[in-house]
Amino acid sequence: MVLFHRAQRAGLLTETMPEDVFRWGAFQSLSPVAFFIASVPIAFLSTPAAVAVWFLAVPLQVLANRWKPAGADRFFPR
């Protein structure tokens, strides 16, 4: 994500993406990482609860797709 951010800001991408598309893509790529980091301290208390935290990323991704900006599919194809 750091490299992608630097390339976007420096204009090193083939085509510069709109700021809202960039923010949405950054959120999409960093949200699973945030859930994993949050699960580490929970794993000390309960391993199944930590795994359950990982699965919370799925509903968040579904909700985030509702806020997908127009033109995002052009830069982030499935």
Closest of 66, 38, 64, 65 to residue 52, by C-alpha = 38
Residue 77 resides in a domain: no
For residue 78, name the pLDDT band (cuts at 50, 70, 90).
Answer: confident
The 10s digit of each residue's pLDDT in 28-43 is 999 989 999 999 999 9
Residue 75 resides in a domain: no
Q: Are the beta carbons of 20 and 76 closer than 8 angstroms?
A: no
Domain holding 19, by residue range, is 2-69
Residue 76 resides in a domain: no
Residue 27 resides in a domain: yes
Residue 58 resides in a domain: yes
Alpha-carbon 54 to chain mean position: 13
> What average pLDDT does this structure show over 48-60?
92
Residue 59 resides in a domain: yes
Residue 61 resides in a domain: yes
Number of domains present in the structure of the chain: 1
> What average pLDDT does this structure show over 52-75?
91
